Amino acid sequence: MDIKDLKVLICDDSLLARKNLHDGLNKIGCTNVTEVKDGQAAVDAYKKSPVDVVFLDIVMPVKDGITAAGEICSIDKDAYVIMVSSVGTQLHLREAIKAGARDFLQKPTTPEQIKEALSHVVGGES
């Protein structure tokens, strides 16, 4: 699989953060991207149409990203969840990994960071 073939779900309550991540994905050739603005919407979208990668913010209304990550990973044990947050404390990192997240990116993201995180998906590593 190549990065351009990935189906990606972005979940962040900030329109600007979603745009930044979406633009970064486009710059590295990943164009099959869906956006939602809260954790419950991410869980619902994943149930309806599983994707290859989910980018989740941590602090969001309705359902936070760590809870959403846990639910998505309970639906699909092979789900590839990457947390993207500006509140990258050690506690959040441990909770995200416990919930099933496989990577953690600090906002604002760069296309290079996104590409590095996705290389583990397309390379089959976890």
Residue 126 lies in a domain: no
Give the CATH number of the domain where residue 85 resides: 3.40.50.2300
Q: Which of 35, 34, 33, 38 is nearest to 13 (CA)?
A: 38
Q: What is the pLDDT of residues 27-51, one digit of tens each?
A: 999 999 999 999 999 999 999 999 9
Which domain, by its residues, includes 18?
Answer: 3-120
CB 93 within 8 Å of CB 100: no
Which residue type does 85 have? S
In the prediction, which pLDDT does 58 show? 93
Residues 59, 84 contacting (CB under 8 angstroms): no
Q: What is the mean pLDDT of residues 4-8?
A: 96
Say if CB 34 and CB 8 are below 8 A apart: yes
Q: Is residue 47, in this structure, part of any structural domain at all?
A: yes
Alpha-carbon torsion, ordered 86, 28, 78, 14, to 10 deg: 30
Whether residue 35 is contained in a domain is answered as: yes
3-class state of residue 87 by DSSP: coil
CA nearest to 39, candidates 27, 54, 52: 54
**Dihedral sign from CA coordinates of 48, 57, 59, 67:** positive
Least confident of 7-11, 56-60, 91-95, 107-111: 91-95
The band of 25, judged by pLDDT with boundaries at 50, 70 and 90, is: very high
Structural domains counted in the chain = 1
Q: Answer whether residue 125 is part of any domain.
A: no
Query: Is the predicted pLDDT of residue 60 greater than 60, yes or no?
Result: yes
> pLDDT by residue (tens digit) across 74-113?
999 999 999 998 876 788 888 999 999 999 999 999 999 9
